[in-house]
C-alpha cells in the first residue's frame, strides 16, 4: 500500500501531541477482506480511564484530482474502516486526518460539512508546514 504524501507529517504531529504510534499501517482483517488504515496510536490517560486508542486515515487533498472525488473516496474508506474496527477492534476510535487548508476551505462548504455531520466523521486537522495537530473534531 502506498502511503499518503503527508503520512510522516501526521505521524510526527501525533507524536508531538502525546500519542504513541503503535501501528505504522494498522492491518484489519474482517469478513474475508484485508484493509489497511494509515496509523494506529494510543496514549495513557488518567489511571482510572486506562488507554485511549485511535486509528487515523490520512488524506492530503492535493490538486491532482478533484477535491469532491477525493472527498467521496475518503468518506467511503472512513465508513468501511469504521465498520471494520467496530467488528475487530471496537476500543479504537477512527479519525480522518485532513490538512488545515482543506478543512478551512472545502470542508466549510455546506455539502461537505453536512456530510461530515450526517455520517459522524471524526476529524483530526493538521498543519503540513508545522507538522502539528490544529484541531480534533468529534
Residue given cell 453536512 in the structure block? 114
Is residue 17 over pLDDT 70?
A: yes
What is the DSSP secondary structure assignment for residue 109, as one 8-state letter? S
Residue position matching grid coordinates 456530510: 115
How far lies 112's CA from each of 32, 58, 70, in Å?
31, 17, 11
When the pLDDT of each residue in the chain is averaged and rounded to a whole number, the result is 91
pLDDT (0 to 100) of residue 16: 94
How far is it, in rounded angstroms, from Cα 114 to Cα 127? 23
pLDDT for residue 45 = 67
Q: Does the pLDDT value for residue 110 go beyond 80?
A: yes
Query: For residue 58, how many other CB atoms are within 10 A of its CB?
Result: 24
Q: If we measure between CA atoms, which residue out of 65, 70, 80, 62 comes closest to residue 119?
A: 80
- Residue 109 has φ and ψ, to the nearest 5°, of -65, 155
For residues 1 and 3, give the distance between their C-alpha atoms in angstroms, rounded to a whole number. Answer: 6
The C-alpha atoms of residue 1 and residue 117 are separated, in whole angstroms, by 29
**What are the tens digits of pLDDT across the range 29-88?**
999 999 999 999 998 765 555 688 999 999 999 877 799 999 999 999 999 999 999 999
Cα distances (Å, whole numbers) of residue 37 to 52, 53, 80, 84, 115: 17, 14, 11, 10, 21
Cα distance between residue 29 and residue 35, in whole Å: 6
- Average of pLDDT values for 106-121? 96
pLDDT band at 102 (very low <50, low <70, confident <90, very high): very high
- At residue 63, the pLDDT reads 74
Amino acid at each position: 500500500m502506498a502511503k499518503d504524501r503527508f503520512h510522516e507529517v501526521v505521524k510526527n504531529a501525533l507524536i508531538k501531541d502525546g500519542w504513541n504510534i503503535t501501528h505504522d499501517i494498522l492491518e484489519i482483517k474482517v469478513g474475508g477482506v484485508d484493509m489497511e488504515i494509515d496509523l494506529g496510536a494510543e496514549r495513557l490517560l488518567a489511571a482510572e480511564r486506562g488507554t485511549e486508542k485511535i486509528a487515523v486515515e490520512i488524506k492530503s487533498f492535493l490538486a491532482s484530482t478533484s477535491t469532491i472525488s477525493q472527498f467521496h473516496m475518503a468518506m467511503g474508506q472512513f465508513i468501511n474502516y469504521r465498520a471494520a474496527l467496530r467488528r475487530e477492534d471496537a476500543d479504537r476510535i477512527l479519525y480522518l486526518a485532513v490538512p488545515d487548508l482543506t478543512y478551512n476551505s472545502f470542508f466549510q462548504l455546506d455539502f461537505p460539512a453536512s456530510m461530515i455531520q450526517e455520517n459522524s466523521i471524526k476529524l483530526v486537522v493538521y498543519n503540513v508546514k508545522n507538522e502539528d495537530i490544529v484541531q480534533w473534531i468529534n
